[in-house]
Chains A and B, each alone.
Chain A
Amino acid sequence: MSTIRDIEKEIVEEFGLFDNNDDKYEYIIDLGKKLPVLDDQYKTDDNKVRGCQSSVWLQADYKDGKIFFSADSDSVLVKGLISMLVRVLSGRTPDEIIGAPLDFIKEVGLTSFLAQTRSNGLLSMVKQIKNYALAFKLKHSTT
């Protein structure tokens, strides 16, 4: 099975096909539109990611030692970003998620999203995902 790093490399290669910013954004928008809609029952305050100008909900389920993420946002661009994070991190073990450096964010040239941490919170999403991983790890190591 491919590792987190393998998937990251795939994404970086896909983005390598675009020679301008517009195409990159169009691709992210496209990913956002394709991300399955999160059921309303999961759009709770508990699942809401803080620090985003748009609303972002992140649902995490633990099964057989792995965490599965589903997510949604009212911003299409943010959904596109989430879609990439889900693709890289969903179905991984807590340790894999906690240890993932997620270099693809920089490599793909999404630094403008990173720079706007306060307004659209890509970093907040990453932090929330890692917090879930940590929480599941602690919960399942003590039981």
Chain B
Amino acid sequence: MITSIDTEVKKKTFDVQSFREQFPILKRQVKGYPLIYLDNAATSQKPQVVIDALVNYYSGFNANIHRGIHSLAEEATAAFEATRDTVKDFINASSREEIIFTRGTTEGINLVAATWGRANVKAGDEIIITNMEHHSNIVPWQLLCEEKGAVLKVIPVDDNGELIWEEFLKLISPKTKLISVVHVSNALGTVNPVKNIIAEARKVGALVMVDGAQSTVHLDIDVQDMDCDFFAFSSHKLYGPTGIGVLYGKRDLLLAMPVYQGGGEMIKEVKYTGTTFNDLPYKYEAGTPNIADTIALKTAIDFVNETGKDVMRRHEDELLDYATEQLQQIPGLKIIGQAKEKVSLVSFIIDKLHPQDIAILLDNRGIAVRTGHHCAQPLIDRFCIPGTTRASFAAYNTTEEIDELVKGLHRAIKLLA
């Protein structure tokens, strides 16, 4: 009994200082100041366990997977495939066959456009995206539409950075083949109502792809409950290594879709008269995969699960509230993106100041933020601004760091204005 209470208490509390201890990079200095890393929406830092997982693989059991008979190959294969099981549980897919390893979210979206898209989208069909997409969820569909003579439609965004629902309802029709929507906007932090969008899509028989690049680290992901057809995310925004991501697809769709890239692993039998293809999920995984990073992705997910997404999110929400409150007090500062549902990032502009100048001066105080269009040019154009400065928080950030950000901004205003 006592043990279970202890576990319960342990689960509910979050000690940011001991969490920070697990990230070696947070101890470094930049330009003589302690690093304050507020560019987590671009990529998160990695805990020691993830770094160790990479080192342990290369120093302990590096081997090519799946075909080797020797012990190293067996160990590497087991570790690689264990990640697939962990990912399956992490996003609650119904089977491990639905988990395809990719290089990242971008490749996941491109894979769907190149396979399902090419096989199913015809002239006159419509694909719907939103005005807050990352370029990765615009360009693949633009290319597909150009190739097929299909039409790309865009759900507009209001001044708060939320989708205009009535406009979406006007766009969706039996011509809609696919809706590809960002779960959480990287530039605004807006959480989109994907379940409602999916419910509308079902009425017209359209499929839905969800870009989970920003959401997976902050929100609980349950692809069965969400009922999306495809979901893509990247490991490196989830405390995991770069160069590895996941595409989830419903089994029936993945079975029916044509193959993506040709090569080793994805084949069953190769003859000059024709090739037959491997079963799911290997059908979409040509060539030697990114073994090391895939193995370390499991460590990253285990790390997130052990810490508890709920307690991390509670801390991140506190950071968001605190940052919003503090930043709003800065004269001339305007927050871009004030959706009711937001993750822990704040995009803003300051009167008469260029974001690039702000970022350079903050960097001189060891503070890392991002500036510009955040790979969402159409969205930034919609707000008629040259770009924003974005501070994006992870669970290892602190309110003291936000205080330093605010000080840095006051200093920048004093110097630049």
Q: Does A26 belong to the interface (CB within 8 Å)?
A: yes
Q: Is the CB of A53 within 8 A of B372?
A: yes
Tell me which of B60-68, B257-265, B357-365 binds A: B357-365
Q: Tell me whether A54 and B364 are in contact (CB under 8 A).
A: no
- Interface size, A (range): 10 to 19
- B235 at the A/B interface (Cβ < 8 Å)? no
Which of chain B's residues have a CB closer than 8 A to the CB of A29? 357, 415-416
Query: Closest residue of chain B to A22, judged by CB?
Result: B364
Question: B386 an interface residue at 8 Å Cβ cutoff?
Answer: yes
Contacting residue for A53 out of B31, B387, B415, B416, CB 8 A: B387
User: Is B371 an interface residue, CB under 8 A from the partner?
Assistant: yes
Q: What would 28 A/B residue contacts be, using CB atoms closer than 8 Å?
A: A21-B364, A22-B364, A25-B360, A25-B361, A25-B364, A26-B415, A29-B357, A29-B415, A53-B356, A53-B371, A53-B372, A53-B387, A54-B354, A74-B354, A74-B386, A75-B356, A75-B357, A76-B357, A76-B416, A77-B354, A77-B356, A77-B357, A78-B354, A78-B356, A78-B357, A119-B356, A119-B371, A119-B372
What range describes how many residues of B lie at the interface? 10 to 19
Check if A93 is an interface residue, CB within 8 A of chain B.
no
With known contacts A21-B364, A54-B386, A55-B386, A120–B356 Cβ distance under 8 A: yes
Given A26-B415, A54-B354, A119-B372, also A77-B360 (CB < 8 A)? yes
Mask for A84-113, Cβ within 8 A of B = 1, else 0?
A: 000000000000000000000000000000
Smallest Cβ-Cβ distance to B416: which chain A residue: A76
Q: Which chain B positions have C-beta within 8 A of A75?
A: 354, 356-357
Residue-wise, chain A 44-60 has the 8 Å CB interface mask toward B (1 for contact) of 00000000011100000
Contacts of A120 in B (CB 8 A): 356, 360
Q: Which residues of B in the span 25-77 have a Cβ within 8 Å of any Cβ on A?
A: 31
Give the number of residue pairs across the A-B interface with Cβ within 8 Å: 40
Neighbouring A residues of B415 by C-beta, 8 Å: 25-26, 29
Q: Give the CA-CA distance A44 to B260 in the complex, in Å.
A: 44
B217 to chain A minimum Cβ distance, whole angstroms, is 25
Instruction: Determine the chain A residues whose CB is within 8 A of the CB of B361 once the complex forms.
Output: 25
- Mask, A17-39, CB within 8 Å of B = 1, is 00001100110010000000000
Please name all residues of chain B whose beta carbon is closer than 8 Å to the beta carbon of A119 when the two chains form the complex: 356, 371-372
User: In the bound complex, how far is the Cα of B362 from the Cα of A25, in angstroms?
Assistant: 12
Q: Which of A107-143 contact B (CB under 8 A)?
A: 119-120
Report the separation of the CA atoms of residues A2 and B371 in the bound assembly, to the nearest whole angstrom.
40
Which residues of B lie under 8 Å from residue A22 when comparing CB positions?
A: 364
Given the complex, which residues of A lie within 8 Å of B371, measured CB to CB?
53, 119
Given contacts A78-B357, A120-B360, 6 further A-B contacts (CB under 8 A): A25-B360, A25-B415, A53-B371, A54-B354, A77-B360, A78-B356
**B387 closest partner in A (C-beta):** A53
CB contacts (< 8 Å) of B364 on chain A: these are 21-22, 25
Q: Note all chain B residues with C-beta closer than 8 A to A21.
A: 31, 364
Cβ of B386: which chain A residues have Cβ within 8 Å of it? 54-55, 74
Per-position contact with A for B363-392: 1 when CB-CB < 8 Å, else 0? 010000001100000000000001100000
Complex Cα–Cα for A65 and B222 (A):
70
- The answer for the CA separation of A120 and B371 in the assembled complex, in Å, is 11
Q: Which of B279-293 contact A (CB under 8 A)?
A: none
The residue on B at minimum CB distance from A21 is: B364
In the complex, which of the residues B31, B354, B372 contacts A76, with contact meaning CB atoms closer than 8 Å? B354
Docked pose: A26 CA to B415 CA in angstroms:
7
In the complex, A53 Cα to B360 Cα: how many Å? 12
Q: Which 8 A-B pairs have the closest CB atoms?
A: A75-B354, A77-B357, A53-B356, A75-B356, A54-B356, A75-B357, A74-B354, A76-B416
Q: What's the least CB distance linking A95 to chain B, in Å?
A: 33
In the bound complex, residues from chain A placing their C-beta under 8 Å from that of B372 are: 53, 119
